[in-house]
Amino acid sequence: MLRKKSTLLFKYKGAQTSRTTKGQGEKSNITFGHDLVTFMKDVRREEGYLCTGGMIEYMKMEQGAWLEMYLADKSSPERGLSALMRLCQRFAAR
């Protein structure tokens, strides 16, 4: 039985790459991820803790155009702020 299955495996003519091994992980919406990580490390080094409010303040100061574009896609300001806070929390957890 095993010998029969092994010959079937070697005769496989399909795609040589697996669809599950490419592009692992979700692409981040944050295009300035490297700068944000540097900011997060600096804050942790100086203060010892980091909150999403601090990350949002950094985005307002350094990436205002991106922030406006991100919030413009949301249906209301409350939902926009909630989505932005979740985005920051997920980014910090990775």
Tokens of 28: 């981040």
Considering the entire predicted model, what is its pTM?
Answer: 0.67
Count of structural domains within the chain: 1
In a domain, 81, yes or no: yes
What is the average pLDDT value for the chain, to the nearest integer?
Answer: 83
Instruction: Answer whether residue 74 is part of any domain.
Output: yes
Give the pLDDT score at 30.
83
The model's pLDDT over 12-60, given as tens digits with 9 standing for 90+, comes to: 666 666 655 555 666 777 889 999 999 999 998 997 788 999 999 999 9
* In a domain? residue 67: yes
Per-residue pLDDT averaged across 58-80, rounded? Answer: 93
Q: Would residue 64 count as lying in a domain?
A: yes
| Contact between residue 85 and residue 57 where contact means Cβ atoms under 8 Å apart | no
Q: Which domain holds residue 78?
A: 51-94
Query: Is 61 a domain residue?
Result: yes
DSSP character string of 63-93: -HHHHHHHHHTSSSHHHHHHHHHHHHHHHHH
